[in-house]
A and B are shown apart, each in its own frame.
Chain A
Amino acid sequence: MTSNIRYKSRIPVKTEDSTEEKQYVGFATLPNQVHRKSVKKGFDFTLMVAGESGMGKSTLVNSLFLTDLYKDRKLLNAEERINQTVEIIKHTVDIEEKGVKLKLTIVDTPGFGDAVNNNQCWKPITDYIDQQFEQYFRDESGLNRKNIQDNRVHCCLYFIPPFGHGLRPVDVEFMKALHEKVNIIPLIAKADCLTPNEIKKLKDRIREEIDKFGIKVYQFPECDSDEDEEFKQLDKELKECTPFAVIGSNTVVEARGQRVRGRLYPWGIVEVENQSHCDFVKLRNMLIRSHMHDLKDVTCDVHYENYRAQCIQEMTSKLAQDNRMESPIPILPLSTPDVDTEKLIKMKDEELKRMQEMLTKMQQQMHDKDQ
């Protein structure tokens, strides 16, 4: 059972009426022209999933995008995991639907929260996000901007275990470390082990704690005043339902005469796409069908711009202090640099150096002008 969020097409059909035709210039086709290009190019989206092992992250991703990204995964046992640090693993899959191409990148964070001492276990994750911002900043400031690859993380699904009584310290610290770098959407994982009442209590508790600790999770944008009532109602329900309590499944079962994704228990069948069983459909609709574009926009306009502003300010203050012409952008260590990469890095560094000098001079000039 799927539900679609409707959008009214605002482009009127060209009427046969000659007076309408007379006034018609034709630039109402502009959105179509824009979209034609985008459809040709295709879209991309980077989704990060974070949470302890066994929260059902991989299963949920498979359920959301109808793929099987983790076919050959080997699950480690407890001993093997003792010395494991948090890794960052990317999976990319190309999905096409009705002529629209999406390059989906899933950033997985195995090892998060699994150790005995989980101090700062989010650092590799924040470093990764910063790295992508930095890469984009360099590319954007460079000379040849034709084919910039956008690897910035557009959204982070954070899985909260359903077994506790709300947010744990690691949940709070993680979200606080990331809320100004990426759009966080907290989820209650494996929601099929809770009764509806328990879910409600847990959601209320979590919402309270998010407020209390000042965690800035992703906010759905306000509805336009000219949207129809049904849409506004749906939007309101969506907002009141967070954090979404989700269930995922890699298997197909037979329920009520239909084949659906679900989990078969002796006491009944949990259907993933049944709205009275869990919020999976709400999550999917929000993530893919109504807010995917907004998630990307907020990443570009807010999180990235914050990073960039911070970066530039650090650069200009450092240059003013030291009065030396050095590249103050912290170069994060790359894993295995080889000769070619090193050359490329050197070239890019020089390019960047020139850029920084030029930038600083400009800032100085503007600063002097203001005074």
Chain B
Amino acid sequence: DICLIRSSGTHSSTGGSTLLGYIGIDTIIEQMRKKTMKTGFDFNIMVVGHSGLGKSTLVNTLFKSQVSRRSAGWARDEKIPKTVEIKSVSHVIEEGGVKMKLTLVDTPGFGDQINNDNCWEPISKFINEQYEKFLKEEVNITRKKRIPDTRVHCCLYFISPTGHSLRQLDIEFMKRLSHSVNIIPIIAKADTMTTEERQEFKQRVRKELEMSGIEFYPQKEFDDDMEDKSDNDKIREAMPFAVVGSDKEYQVNGKRVLGRKTAWGVVEVENPNHCEFAQLRDFLIRSHLQDLKEVTHNIHYETYRAKRLNENGGLHPISSSDTQESNL
């Protein structure tokens, strides 16, 4: 569960104070909270994976609203695009007085062609374009109070539940992009595997990720302290989460649950015995949402910025006709 601020009740002031009372410094937390509640939060999440892996459904399930532009019933005559497209859609959702502008970046066409060479390039380009946008705002003379943040904070990569191993495309994509964005690999449509099959598959996938040197989020090198490290170690051991998504409800044991109904039973999305959706949700939203943003801002964005500043000739505006990628 979320670790709230622990109140120790006593206070000490290094400076030899013997004098009475309570200064009230801890109220700055409340002041900050008030301020951040007022300004609201932004979160940008990208989903990548070939079509049919349930990406849109999963995001809708995660945020319990129709965030994805796709309706629940997939129109069969929607064509697969010839190249990877990047489609963003934003929604403002509110919960407990907290307003969040959630932007979902979809990547239809990824991995769907016969020849998928370089299909990650439009995605990489998009991610860097957002960094570039932010950088331009930052170096402006009159800066906005809150620079609009379109940078991708999290990229959910959907692994096909083949039960065997990662595909070549999976490794290529994650290898290339794990240094510019937070990648969270997940095993999609986990209801095609039994619990044992799922465990074995996970082990194999984790091993392959390790062997390919892919650092997925939460990256080991960014653990702040021992507390973070131990929390994140537990999560890393359990990743990639095997998930099932659904926006339909069924009655199970007198309760209404989200699930998938089959002839042999109902797969309950939020039941930890059935799949790891709840774990993913808690990890992604309830404990690491802010951290995803911070790693994006403090590390990935800074890396991009440093590279840009070191280049000869300074900053050039990126034009849409640029097919040649700069050495990024």
Interchain CB contact under 8 A, B290 and A309: no
Binds B, one of A26-34, A124-132, A202-210: A26-34
Contact with B along A296-309 (1 / 0, CB 8 A): 01000100010011
**How distant is B24 from chain A, measured CB to nearest CB, in Å?**
4
Interchain CB contact under 8 A, A284 and B96: no
In the bound complex, how far is the Cα of B181 from the Cα of A246, in angstroms?
A: 53
**How distant is A335 from chain B, measured CB to nearest CB, in Å?**
26
**How distant is B200 from chain A, measured CB to nearest CB, in Å?**
30
Q: Is A343 on the interface with B (CB-CB < 8 A)?
A: no
Interchain CB contact under 8 A, B287 and A33: yes
Residue of A nearest to B13 (CB): A95
Which residues from B are CB-within-8-Å of A43?
25, 28
Residues A323-371 near B (CB distance < 8 A): 354-355, 357-359, 361-363, 365, 369
Interchain CB contact under 8 A, B24 and A289: yes
Interchain CB contact under 8 A, A26 and B282: yes
Interchain CB contact under 8 A, A67 and B41: no
A96 and B290 in contact (CB under 8 A), knowing A66-B21, A357-B314?
A: no
Number of interface residues, chain B, beta carbon within 8 A: 76
**How distant is A147 from chain B, measured CB to nearest CB, in Å?**
11
Binds B, one of A17-25, A110-118, A161-169, A211-219: A17-25
Contact partner of B64 (CB less than 8 A), chosen from A23, A30, A35, is A23
Contact partner of A28 (CB less than 8 A), chosen from B21, B97, B255, is B97
Q: Is B318 on the interface with A (CB-CB < 8 A)?
A: no
Interface of A is mostly: helix
Residues B39-83 near A (CB distance < 8 A): 41, 43, 62-64
In the bound complex, how far is the Cα of B190 from the Cα of A342, in angstroms?
A: 61
In the bound complex, how far is the Cα of B30 from the Cα of A29, in angstroms?
A: 14
In the bound complex, how far is the Cα of B41 from the Cα of A87, in angstroms?
A: 43
**How distant is B281 from chain A, measured CB to nearest CB, in Å?**
7
Contact partner of A100 (CB less than 8 A), chosen from B28, B96, B282, B316, is B28
**How distant is A305 from chain B, measured CB to nearest CB, in Å?**
6
Which residues from B are CB-within-8-Å of A96?
11-13, 25
Interchain CB contact under 8 A, B64 and A65: no
Q: Is A12 on the interface with B (CB-CB < 8 A)?
A: yes
Interchain CB contact under 8 A, A301 and B15: no
Which residues from B are CB-within-8-Å of A146?
298, 302
In the bound complex, how far is the Cα of B40 from the Cα of A27, in angstroms?
A: 11
A2 and B141 in contact (CB under 8 A), knowing A11-B96, A31-B33, A32-B2?
A: no
Interchain CB contact under 8 A, B23 and A95: yes
Q: Is A193 on the interface with B (CB-CB < 8 A)?
A: no
Interchain CB contact under 8 A, A293 and B32: yes
Interchain CB contact under 8 A, A30 and B100: yes
Which residues from A are CB-within-8-Å of B291?
33, 37
Residue of B nearest to A291 (CB): B31
**How distant is A346 from chain B, measured CB to nearest CB, in Å?**
18
**How distant is B178 from chain A, measured CB to nearest CB, in Å?**
20
**Residue picked from B3, B9, B33, B93, most chain A C-beta under 10 Å:** B33
**How distant is A42 from chain B, measured CB to nearest CB, in Å?**
10
Interchain CB contact under 8 A, A288 and B24: yes
Chain A positions within 8 Å of B, measured between CB atoms, are: 2, 4-5, 7, 10-12, 18, 22-40, 43, 64-69, 71, 93-100, 102, 143-146, 224, 252, 259-261, 273, 284-285, 288-294, 297, 301, 305, 308-309, 312-313, 354-355, 357-359, 361-363, 365, 369
Identify the 9 closest CB pairs spanning chains A and B, nearest first.
Answer: A28-B96, A10-B97, A358-B314, A33-B290, A97-B11, A293-B31, A26-B286, A67-B15, A98-B26
Q: List 8 A-B contacts (CB under 8 A).
A: A2-B21, A18-B256, A67-B15, A99-B5, A259-B20, A288-B25, A358-B309, A365-B316
Contacts A4-B24, A66-B20, A96-B12 aside, 15 further interface pairs with beta carbons under 8 A come to A22-B64, A27-B100, A29-B287, A30-B41, A32-B2, A33-B289, A66-B13, A67-B16, A71-B16, A95-B14, A100-B5, A102-B25, A288-B23, A288-B25, A305-B142
